[in-house]
């Protein structure tokens, strides 16, 4: 039988085109990326190993009385960050000399909170009878450490995100027992909007 | 920190900072004349700075020069090179550094989300990153860029990354950009010698000792996420972060590529990256993508998120979201 | 013809060196000038070596500059040797067969320059061993740069071996055995296309850079190379024709001229096609092209360069196409220079730098090389010219001795 003179060349071309075809196919196949990897990861994350090496920061966190998707979580204390807590040291029925009272009264507080036409007043939040506590709209007494409950009355969206993790931030560690900052860690409760200020640093203009 | 004092200080620094051209024409010609006089000996003395050190230093440098790619090292080899590097840091800089070679955690894939409606452009993250990662102070290297954008424009190229005024500015929002640790990273594909790769926990790292400095990865990155050491990086000894990682914030040499590592030295210990910890507005969410109860998963599930230049198919692990 | 006793490799090398040292005072002066440039380059590089790449004008945005621009262009010059090899060895064209060795040696010189440009561009030149087989680690087949290293070194080896074998045979007054070198010649033809396509793919494969991410890049690289390379060979042939006893036929010039004209016209058509795409409906992917041709936000350092390059390109092509001097070397020479310089600028700085401007985040900076960079570049270029000279001179002497039998 006579061999086709181009047999070798033809087979070479065939092999080459197969290689190119499968090469391209290999490259064009997508696994679906990180979103799929994420969806497939439904097992609870076991962070025991990491947790063991993590000290609790802060030392005595407050157990939040709401749960997040992962169960209990904690927040920073508030009462120890308030200057001259407890409030009842001054706000009691005892008389105070007027000169001393003027010095320690809250003249430095700027209240920019709430709608312009109907700003908040002191006793919108503070309990008038027991000054160590806060007071909800419904009249429930709230401890300073659980002030997030006060904020959440109006800012319920922010509170929902804070519980879930889209608002606010964790303290130092991404793993281990979840301890987050509370509302007043970042926002001044009396004027909660962030102030204008100069940035901490600057980026160098590369051209000059 | 008092912001007014900070401002004055910054303005002064910014104005006096002149990108000194290291080789002007005159210096170059002057040097050329000198070289002609000294002949080839100039080059010898120039190259041989490492030879002036002690014998121990020389031996350590020699061993370091011939070590292999970090990925192919056994744990013993890794421990050995880490010990050598710690000793060299002591000999050269007089610094007691602790270099870790801790591997990735099981069942962890790091992810990041950035809230563009919260960020106010304060740049605390940038400052914290520079400090934590021992970035070169001389060339003012920064991994993070914050772009100031006008409302009504989401074009990636429309931001101003060099703003310097009180923030937040009216009618503007701020968008932080850093390495996105793409799952399908173009830089990894580009590197000719496998000096950069994706760790099992999703962090894209560089072996600073293996990199030859060809800068092809830099050309391949669509996010401008990589930085090159054009000069020998300088960090004042008092500002040196001593807790280091082989793949993270240990001191680089000149002529190698570096990049954000999600602070591998921190995150593998369970800590947040320095930028996320420093953020005063809580715009930065960091966590484990494989943990269904993590904050990052909450953001991805409950917020409308997007990624930058998603059409390129790089699959970044860094999302933007709005409230 | 009397065949003298076979001489070994040592006497071959000795003779080659001897032929290069001997020569008129002008030739010696020419070599001395080249060496002086090379030494200045070495000094400039020592400055860069000590300071790091901050001694260059490059920065985190324009991360590739003069070095890589020259590298890209010279790969084309190296690849263009195939335009002589193909007709000479495959179609057995007499005119080209006589000068094919010159083409191959020019390719060697160009490759030496390419590899040196890569080396000086590296941040860690002492770590190049990480690229070597066995001891190093290669990201193959993923990284196009890894491919490029392989094809460039392979092409250098092929283009050194074949001429060396032929010359060594002719040195001993023996005809070279065609069966032995023909497979390598055929391989080198494919390889020449490969080096240029791979170098184009280096840029073409980056979606991060819309200016480069363009399927026309590969073909355009080839077209411009097949114009610039033969233009350089014409220039060298004109010089050889004037300065040595080795005479070149008019017919050879004519054939080279035709090759250049065809390639250059194809190149210009593709350039027009690219320009149309960028400017008919400009998107933000057109920003680099706008920067290149008209400048962006006051940054316009490349604008005069690109327009002069295009003018030189068109003018050179027109002169070569209409051939007013009837293949007179006095007309061919300046026309070739025009075309060569035009393509050099357009395919060097005009291709590499705008690909990086604006940065992926939209920041614009201008790039201008520093004195260190310019001197290193000049040093490497003189190294290339030096290599080509010291290779061609003995080659011509051997060929002449062989053809006359003395």
- The total number of structural domains in chain C stands at 1
B215 falls within a domain: yes
Angle between helix axes C94-121 and C250-280 (nearest 10 degrees) is 50
Query: Which residue segment(s) compose the domain that B216 sits in?
Result: 110-321
List chains touching C (3+ CB pairs under 8 A).
A, B
- The total number of structural domains in chain B stands at 2
What distance in Å separates residue A82's CA from the closest CA in chain C? 44
- What is the pLDDT, as a whole number, of residue C7? 77
- What is the pLDDT, as a whole number, of residue C55? 95
Q: How far apart are CA C168 and CA C157, in angstroms?
A: 16
C348 falls within a domain: yes
Q: How far apart are CA C78 and CA C55, in angstroms?
A: 29
- What is the pLDDT, as a whole number, of residue B46? 40
Closest-CA residue in chain C for B194? C139
| Beta carbons within 8 Å of A13's beta carbon, 6+ residues apart | none
In this structure, are residues B175 and B181 in contact, taking their beta carbons and an 8 Å threshold?
Answer: no
Which is more confident, C296 or A29?
A: C296
Q: How far apart are CA B62 and CA A206, in angstroms?
A: 36
Q: Please, is C206 exposed, middle or buried when counting C-beta atoms within 10 Å of its C-beta (0-12, 13-18, 19+)?
A: buried
pLDDT at residue A53 is higher than 60: yes
Judgement on whether residues B85 and B202 belong to the same structural domain of the protein: no
- What is the pLDDT, as a whole number, of residue A108? 83
Establish if B19 touches chain A: CB-CB under 8 angstroms.
yes
- What is the pLDDT, as a whole number, of residue A102? 65
Judgement on whether residues B156 and B281 belong to the same structural domain of the protein: yes
Model ipTM value: 0.93
Q: Give the end of a domain, one of B26, B61, B96.
A: B96
List chains touching B (3+ CB pairs under 8 A).
A, C
Judgement on whether residues B55 and B202 belong to the same structural domain of the protein: no
User: Taking Cα atoms as reference points, which of C127, C378, C90 lies closest to residue B255?
Assistant: C127
- What is the pLDDT, as a whole number, of residue A43? 84
Q: Which chain C residues touch A206 with a CB distance below 8 Å?
A: 59-61, 363, 365
Q: Which of A9-13, A29-33, B166-170 tops mean pLDDT?
A: B166-170
Judgement on whether residues B79 and B148 belong to the same structural domain of the protein: no
Residue to substitute from B32, B39, B230, interface C, most C β-carbons within 10 A: B230
B3 falls within a domain: no
pLDDT at residue B164 is higher than 70: yes
Tokens at residue B150, please? 């006008």
- What is the pLDDT, as a whole number, of residue C334? 95
Nearest to A198 among B3, B295, B321 (CB): B3
User: Taking Cα atoms as reference points, which of B223, B94, A20 lies closest to residue C209?
Assistant: B223
CA atoms within 13 A on the CB side of A78: 26
Residue to substitute from A203, A205, A207, interface C, most C β-carbons within 10 A: A207
Judgement on whether residues B151 and B299 belong to the same structural domain of the protein: yes
Q: Check CB contact under 8 Å for B105 and A30.
A: no
**Cα C221 from chain centroid?**
12
Q: How far apart are CA C62 and CA C348, in angstroms?
A: 14
In this structure, are residues C269 and C223 in contact, taking their beta carbons and an 8 Å threshold?
Answer: no
- What is the pLDDT, as a whole number, of residue B165? 94
Establish if B247 touches chain C: CB-CB under 8 angstroms.
no
Judgement on whether residues B168 and B299 belong to the same structural domain of the protein: yes
- Tokens 């910054």 sit on residue: B10
Q: Which of helix, strand or coil describes residue A93? A: coil
C356 falls within a domain: yes
pLDDT band at A83 (very low <50, low <70, confident <90, very high): confident
- What is the pLDDT, as a whole number, of residue A7? 81
pLDDT at residue A116 is higher than 50: yes
Judgement on whether residues B79 and B185 belong to the same structural domain of the protein: no
H helical segments located in chain A: 7-28, 33-40, 48-52, 98-104, 122-125, 148-154, 156-164, 183-186
C3 falls within a domain: no
B171 falls within a domain: yes
Q: Check CB contact under 8 Å for A203 and B109.
A: no
Closest-CA residue in chain C for A23? C141
| Beta carbons within 8 Å of C301's beta carbon, 6+ residues apart | C366, C367, C368
C293 falls within a domain: yes
- Tokens 């005809």 sit on residue: C175
DSSP label of A180: E
C338 falls within a domain: yes
| CATH label of the domain that carries residue C309 | 1.20.1630.10
Q: How far apart are CA C344 and CA C113, in angstroms?
A: 14
In chain B, which among 176-235 make CB contacts under 8 A with chain A? 183-184
- What is the pLDDT, as a whole number, of residue C133? 82
Q: Give the end of a domain, one of B38, B65, B96.
A: B96
- What is the pLDDT, as a whole number, of residue C287? 94
- What is the pLDDT, as a whole number, of residue A30? 62
Q: Each residue of C144-156: pLDDT tens digit?
A: 999 999 999 999 9
Q: Give the end of a domain, one of B66, B96, B126.
A: B96
Sign of CA dihedral B156, B157, B161, B164: negative
Rg of chain A over Cα atoms, rounded to whole angstroms, equals 31
Query: Which residue segment(s) compose the domain that C338 sits in?
Result: 9-404
Q: Please compute the mean of the pLDDT values over residues B280-309 and round it to a whole number.
A: 95
**Total residues belonging to chain C:** 406
B7 falls within a domain: no
- What is the pLDDT, as a whole number, of residue B4? 52
With residue A123 as reference, give the H or E element that holds it. helix A122-125
H helical segments located in C22-65: 25-51
pLDDT band at B220 (very low <50, low <70, confident <90, very high): very high
Judgement on whether residues B57 and B151 belong to the same structural domain of the protein: no
pLDDT band at A69 (very low <50, low <70, confident <90, very high): very high
Q: Please compute the mean of the pLDDT values over residues B7-28 and round it to a whole number.
A: 55
Q: Please compute the mean of the pLDDT values over residues B239-260 and round it to a whole number.
A: 95
pLDDT band at A88 (very low <50, low <70, confident <90, very high): confident
Tokens at residue B225, please? 């996420």
Q: Which chain B residues touch A55 with a CB distance below 8 Å?
A: none
B218 falls within a domain: yes
Residue to substitute from B214, B252, B308, B310, interface C, most C β-carbons within 10 A: B214
Judgement on whether residues B89 and B163 belong to the same structural domain of the protein: no
In this structure, are residues B111 and B103 in contact, taking their beta carbons and an 8 Å threshold?
Answer: no
Tokens at residue A189, please? 């409760």
Does the bond joining C358 to the residue before it have cis omega, within 30 degrees of 0? yes
- What is the pLDDT, as a whole number, of residue C24? 84
Closest-CA residue in chain B for C134? B68
pLDDT band at B49 (very low <50, low <70, confident <90, very high): very low
Q: Which of helix, strand or coil describes residue C234? A: helix
Judgement on whether residues B74 and B118 belong to the same structural domain of the protein: no
Judgement on whether residues B178 and B147 belong to the same structural domain of the protein: yes
pLDDT at residue B36 is higher than 90: no
**Total residues belonging to chain B:** 323
Q: How far apart are CA A122 and CA A136, in angstroms?
A: 12
Which parts of chain C register pLDDT below 50?
1
- What is the pLDDT, as a whole number, of residue C367? 93
B278 falls within a domain: yes
B151 falls within a domain: yes
Q: How far apart are CA B301 and CA B291, in angstroms?
A: 13
Judgement on whether residues B139 and B177 belong to the same structural domain of the protein: yes
B33 falls within a domain: no
What distance in Å separates residue B21's CA from the closest CA in chain C? 8
Q: Which of helix, strand or coil describes residue B114? A: strand
| CATH label of the domain that carries residue B156 | 3.30.70.20
Q: Determine phi and psi for A34, rounding to 5 degrees.
A: -70, -30
Q: How far is CA B147 from CA A205, B73, B155, B276, in A?
A: 13, 40, 11, 17
Q: Check CB contact under 8 Å for C121 and B214.
A: yes
C1 falls within a domain: no
Q: Each residue of B123-150: pLDDT tens digit?
A: 999 999 999 999 999 999 999 999 999 9
- What is the pLDDT, as a whole number, of residue C246? 87
DSSP track, B4-57:
HHHHHHHHHHHHH-----SS-HHHHHHHHHHHHHHTTHHHHHHHGGGGGS-HHH
Q: Check CB contact under 8 Å for B164 and A202.
A: yes
């Amino acid at each position: 039988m006579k061999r086709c003179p181009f047999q070798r060349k033809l087979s070479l071309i065939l092999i080459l085109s197969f290689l190119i075809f499968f090469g391209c196919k290999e490259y064009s196949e997508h696994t679906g990326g990180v979103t799929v990897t994420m969806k497939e990861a439904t097992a609870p994350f076991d962070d025991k190993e990491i947790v063991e090496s993590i000290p609790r920061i802060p030392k005595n966190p407050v157990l939040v009385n709401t749960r997040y998707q992962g169960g209990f979580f904690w927040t920073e204390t508030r009462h120890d960050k308030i200057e001259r807590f407890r409030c009842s040291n001054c706000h009691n029925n005892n008389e105070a000399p007027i000169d001393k009272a003027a010095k320690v009264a809250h003249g430095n507080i700027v209240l920019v909170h709430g709608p312009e036409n109907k700003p908040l007043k002191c006793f919108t939040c503070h309990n008038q009878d027991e000054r160590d506590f806060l007071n909800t709209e419904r009249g429930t007494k709230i401890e300073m450490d659980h002030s997030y409950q006060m904020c959440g009355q109006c800012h319920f969206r922010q509170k929902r995100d804070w519980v879930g993790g889209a608002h606010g931030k964790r303290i130092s560690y991404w793993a281990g027992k979840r301890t987050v900052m509370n509302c007043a860690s970042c926002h001044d409760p009396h004027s909660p909007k962030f102030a204008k200020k100069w940035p901490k640093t600057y980026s160098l203009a590369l051209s000059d | 920190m008092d912001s007014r004092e900070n401002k004055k200080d910054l303005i002064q620094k910014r104005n006096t900072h002149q990108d000194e051209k290291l080789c002007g024409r005159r210096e170059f010609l002057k040097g050329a004349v000198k070289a002609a006089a000294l002949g080839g000996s100039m080059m010898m003395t120039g190259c041989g700075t490492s030879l002036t050190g002690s014998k121990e230093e020389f031996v350590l440098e020699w061993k370091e020069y011939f070590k292999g790619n970090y990925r192919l090292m056994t744990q013993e080899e890794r421990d050995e090179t880490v010990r050598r590097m710690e000793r060299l840091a002591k000999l050269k800089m007089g610094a007691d550094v602790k270099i870790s070679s801790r591997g990735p955690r099981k069942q962890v894939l790091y992810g990041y989300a950035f809230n563009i409606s919260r960020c106010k452009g304060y740049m605390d993250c940038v400052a914290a990153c520079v400090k934590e990662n021992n970035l070169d102070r001389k060339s003012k290297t920064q991994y993070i860029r914050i772009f100031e954008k006008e409302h009504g424009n989401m074009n990636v190229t429309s931001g101003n990354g060099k703003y310097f005024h009180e923030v937040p500015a009216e009618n503007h929002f701020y968008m932080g950009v850093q390495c996105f640790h793409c799952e399908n990273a173009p830089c990894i594909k580009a590197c000719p010698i496998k000096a950069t790769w994706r760790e099992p926990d999703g962090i894209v790292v560089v072996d600073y000792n293996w990199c030859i400095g060809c800068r092809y990865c830099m050309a391949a990155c669509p996010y401008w996420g990589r930085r090159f050491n054009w000069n020998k990086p300088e960090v004042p000894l008092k500002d040196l972060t001593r807790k280091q990682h082989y793949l993270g914030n240990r001191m680089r040499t000149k002529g190698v590529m570096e990049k954000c590592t999600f602070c591998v030295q921190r995150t593998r210990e369970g800590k947040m990256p320095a930028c996320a910890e420093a953020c005063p507005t809580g715009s930065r969410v960091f966590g484990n993508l494989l943990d269904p109860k993590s904050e990052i998963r909450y953001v991805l599930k409950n917020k409308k998120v997007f990624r930058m230049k998603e059409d390129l198919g790089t699959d970044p692990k860094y999302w933007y979201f709005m409230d | 013809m009397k065949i003298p006793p076979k001489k070994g490799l040592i006497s071959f090398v000795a003779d080659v060196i001897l032929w290069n040292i001997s020569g008129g005072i002008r030739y010696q002066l020419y070599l001395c000038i080249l060496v002086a440039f090379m030494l200045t380059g070495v000094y400039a590089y020592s400055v860069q070596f000590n300071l790091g790449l901050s001694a260059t004008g490059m920065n985190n945005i324009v991360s590739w500059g003069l070095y890589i621009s020259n590298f890209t262009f010279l790969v084309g010059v190296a690849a263009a040797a195939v335009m002589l090899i193909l007709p000479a060895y495959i179609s057995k064209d007499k005119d080209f067969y006589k000068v094919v060795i010159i083409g191959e040696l020019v390719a060697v010189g160009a490759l030496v320059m390419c590899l040196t440009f890569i080396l000086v561009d590296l941040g860690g030149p002492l770590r190049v061993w990480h690229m070597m087989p066995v001891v190093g680690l290669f990201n193959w087949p993923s990284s196009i740069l890894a491919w490029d290293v392989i094809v460039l070194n392979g092409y250098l080896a092929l283009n050194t071996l074949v001429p060396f074998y032929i010359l060594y045979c002719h040195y001993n007054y023996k005809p070279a055995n065609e069966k032995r070198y023909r497979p390598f010649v055929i391989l080198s033809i494919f390889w020449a296309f490969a080096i240029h396509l791979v170098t184009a793919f280096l840029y073409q494969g980056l979606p991060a850079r819309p200016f480069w991410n363009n399927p026309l890049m590969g073909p355009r690289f080839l077209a411009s190379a097949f114009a610039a390379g033969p233009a350089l060979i014409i220039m060298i042939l004109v010089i050889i024709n004037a300065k040595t006893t080795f005479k070149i036929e008019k017919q050879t010039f004519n054939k080279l001229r035709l090759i250049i004209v065809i390639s250059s016209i194809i190149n210009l058509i593709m350039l027009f096609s690219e320009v149309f795409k960028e400017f008919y409906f400009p998107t933000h992917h057109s920003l680099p092209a706008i920067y290149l041709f008209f400048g962006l936000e006051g940054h316009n350092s490349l604008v005069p360069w690109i327009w002069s390059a295009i003018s030189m390109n068109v003018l050179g092509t027109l002169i070569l196409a209409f051939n007013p001097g009837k293949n007179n070397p006095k007309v061919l020479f300046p026309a070739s220079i025009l075309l060569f310089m035009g393509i050099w600028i357009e395919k060097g700085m005009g291709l590499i730098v705008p690909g990086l401007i604006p940065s992926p985040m939209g920041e614009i900076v201008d790039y201008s090389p520093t004195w260190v960079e310019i001197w290193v570049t000049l040093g490497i270029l003189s190294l290339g010219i030096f290599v080509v000279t010291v290779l061609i001179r003995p080659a011509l002497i051997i060929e002449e001795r062989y053809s006359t039998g003395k």
